Amino acid sequence: MIELSAVSKTYRSLVRRRTVRALEDLTLSIARGEVFGIAGPNGAGKSTLISLLVGFLHPTSGSVRVGGLVPRAWVERHGVSYLTELVALPPRWTVEQALRRLATLAGLGDGARPRIERAVEMLGLEEHRAKQVRQLSKGNLQRLGIAQALLDDSDLVILDEPTHGLDPVYTQRFRDIVAELRRPERTILIASHNLDELERLTDRVAILGRGRLQRIVGGAADETHAGSAVYRLVVAGNPVMGSAFPGVPVEGRRGEYRLEGELATLNAAVAGLISSGVVITAFYPEESRLEVEFRRAMEAKE
Amino acid sequence: MITRIPLGYSHWELRDAVRGPGLILLAVAVLVGFILTRMPSSQAFTTEDVVRAIADQSLFPLVLVVSAGLVSRDLGEGYYRAYFSRPVSPPLFYLQRWLVGGVLLMLYIPMLAAAASIRTGDLQVPLWIAGRAALLYLLVGGTVLFFSTLVRRDWVLGAGFYILESILHAIQSQGGGLSGIARAVYAVLPPYHAAAIDGSPSQGDIWGAAAYGACIVLAALAVLHWRALGSGGRA
């Protein structure tokens, strides 16, 4: 669905003659049906990459193709369900009007009304319909941004920092929405600083750093943990751990422990604890795989 | 579904135009009507006299009001991201917006005629003035649209071009010779004088000006087709 080949993007300031390399030699392929994440610190090039995919920017070198076409041609034929990082709509539009106008531009015709109603209901915007955009709080503006993106029934969904400013209720609602959006013919791209969110929602995550692709990490579908890692073990009561973990450094006390070792070794030890009557209430990696990979990518970059 | 020509959106554009610059046009017409009712009845004039005098003084600034920021506001504020993530062609979207502005400006002449008719009792719309207004919108509105695709202060550049051409045309028409650079500049500037209400341009001048205006609008659409709408990842 999306093919980027040796893509670089450099911003040039005409006045000060400064140049900023936002993306450098990026090669990436995203399949139809995939939910793909983009992670990276501020200034990593995430928003530039998205602007290239929607055709709002042209690459300085390399090629970008969406469905085999240059992005603008694809967008002008099919449209994109797109949420910008900073939701920008004319301030005097009301919520209702914004959705009706953008549905008109999406060419929804008679199908606009039910889609607007559904988007309003999903994002809890009923009581804000008559409010002007300028009267909305940050969170409500973000919900309007998601609602307008959901109007289109496009095969390409691009969401830039979708949960920025959302409260926990709508953060969870957003996760449900992404699950509903998943379809074999639809590609979903989510750019976020929130690694936990990306790990929950995506199949793969590209980690960008200083404009370069640092690595691609498997998301929820790839849970293999190779090598030694740090885990947290929480048990009921305060049992004597004794030699339950031979050769494994165990830190902590009063039922909560930090262990470092191979997952297979630790699993066997935990099984031994269970058979000896210890009640395990939690056993989980201290850092998710994505967090580990992100940290390693940033350390390698420095 | 392909909606490269966003015709369905035209009523929203019309609504925005009426509630924005349309109110200013209406206010001017109402003010003219009010002033005419206060003038002594000994003064005799026709509807055409009134429309001609008012249009001559007000059309240029009103064209600027109608056409300013048509593209640049969306690019500057980032609204284009919501519009053009839809199956919509930017050149056709802005051509439609520009045409709606032109329709609104055309309504200004009948509005002036209606205001004048309060006093004269004769509601006759002088079509030749409407034609000059259309030509002025094509030239000045087209210039502003072109600059709007490139810079934020489009109307300032549009006004600057108009004033410069007016000065050079005045020197030229009063028999003063233009020096080499001034003559070259005058030759390439849009022939705004052909749309002046108080002028008497030939048919050739009018057609030449119309062709020039059409070329400026086409150049603006070409820029919109080729340029990247964004200037940065977030901008």
Please, how many CA atoms are within 13 Å of residue B213, restricted to the half-sphere of its CB?
A: 26
Q: What is the ipTM of this complex?
A: 0.84
| Encoded tokens for A17 | 């003659």
Residue B196 pLDDT > 90, yes or no? no
Kindly report the nearest CA distance between residue A151 and chain B, in angstroms: 10
Residue A148: list chain B partners with CB under 8 A: 82
Residues 6+ apart with CB under 8 A from B25: B62, B66, B104, B105, B107, B108, B111
What would the mean pLDDT of A247-265 be, rounded to a whole number? 74
CA A265, A271, A274, A276 torsion-angle sign: negative
d(CA A32, CA A16): 42
Among A51, A77, A101, beta carbon nearest to B87: A77
Start-to-end CA span in chain A (Å): 33
**To probe the interface with A, which of B12, B73, B84, B85 has the most A CB atoms within 10 Å?**
B85
B-contacting residues in A 107-166 (Cβ below 8 Å): 107, 109, 148, 152, 158
pLDDT at A189 over 50: yes
Instruction: Show residues of chain B in contact with A89, CB under 8 Å.
Output: 79, 82
| Higher pLDDT pick, A5 / B179 | A5
Average pLDDT over residues A192-202: 87
What is residue B5's predicted lDDT score, i.e. its pLDDT? Answer: 65
Mean pLDDT across the stretch B198-227? 92
- The residue ranking higher by pLDDT, B218 or A152, is B218
pLDDT band at B27 (very low <50, low <70, confident <90, very high): very high
Q: Would you give the DSSP letter of residue B140?
A: I
- Name the 3-class secondary structure at B68: coil
Range A79-90 average pLDDT: 92
Q: Return the SS3 of A23.
A: strand
* Residue A127 to chain B, least CA–CA distance (Å): 23
Average pLDDT score, chain B? 89
Chain B nearest CA to A237, separation (Å): 52
State residue B33's pLDDT score.
87
Q: What is the pLDDT of residues B142-186, one digit of tens each?
A: 999 999 999 989 999 999 999 999 999 888 888 777 788 888 998
Task: Report the mean per-residue pLDDT for chain A.
Answer: 86
Q: Would you say B52 and B197 are in contact if contact means Cβ atoms under 8 Å apart?
A: yes
**Residue of chain A whose Cα is closest to the Cα of B90:** A76
Question: Where does the pLDDT of residue A225 fall: very low under 50, low under 70, confident under 90, or very high at 90 and above?
Answer: low
**C-alpha distance from B90 to closest chain A C-alpha (Å):** 9
Q: CA-to-CA distance for B73 and B229, rounded, in angstroms?
A: 12
- Per the DSSP assignment, residues forming a β-bridge with A39 are A207
How confident is residue A283, by pLDDT bands cut at 50, 70 and 90?
Answer: confident
Candidates B4, B6, B228; nearest CB to A56: B228
The token duo for B147 is 């600059």
Percent residues over pLDDT 70 in chain A? 90
Contact call for B83 and A88, based on CB within 8 A? no
Spatial CB neighbours of A197, under 8 Å, sequence gap ≥ 6: A163, A171, A175, A190
Contacts of A289 (CB under 8 A, 6+ apart): A199, A217, A218, A222, A223, A225
Mutation site, A23, A38, A51, A82, interface B, largest B CB count within 10 A: A51
Asked which of A132-141, A209-218, B107-116 is least confident by mean pLDDT, the reply is A209-218
Selection from B143, B161, B149 nearest residue B217 by Cα: B143
Q: Does A70 touch chain B (CB under 8 A)?
A: no
Considering chain A, what percentage of its residues have pLDDT values greater than 90? 42
Burial of B139 (0-12, 13-18, 19+ CB in 10 A): buried
Structure token pair of residue A252: 């902590």
Bigger pLDDT: B136 vs A262: B136
The phi-psi region of residue B19 (left if phi > 0; otherwise alpha if psi is between -120 and 50; otherwise beta) is alpha
Cβ atoms of A129 and A95 within 8 Å: the answer is yes
pLDDT of residue A196: 85
Q: In this complex, which of B4, B9, B85 lies closest to A54 when CB atoms are compared?
A: B85
Of the partner residues A50, A89, A107, the one whose CB lies closest to the CB of residue B87: A107
Contact B234 A75 (CB under 8 A): no
Strand arrangement, sheet containing A280-285: A250-253, A256-262, A228-235, A280-285
Q: What's the confidence (pLDDT) of residue A221?
A: 46
Q: Which has the closest alpha carbon to B32: B11, B13, B8, B49?
A: B49
Q: pLDDT of A13-43, one tens digit each?
A: 777 678 888 899 999 999 999 999 999 888 8
Report which listed range, A279-283, B32-36, B61-65, is most confident.
Answer: B61-65
Across A100-109, A272-281, B63-72, B165-174, which has the greatest mean pLDDT? Answer: B63-72
User: Is A39's Cβ below 8 Å from some Cβ in B?
Assistant: no
- What local confidence, expressed as pLDDT, does residue B107 receive? 94
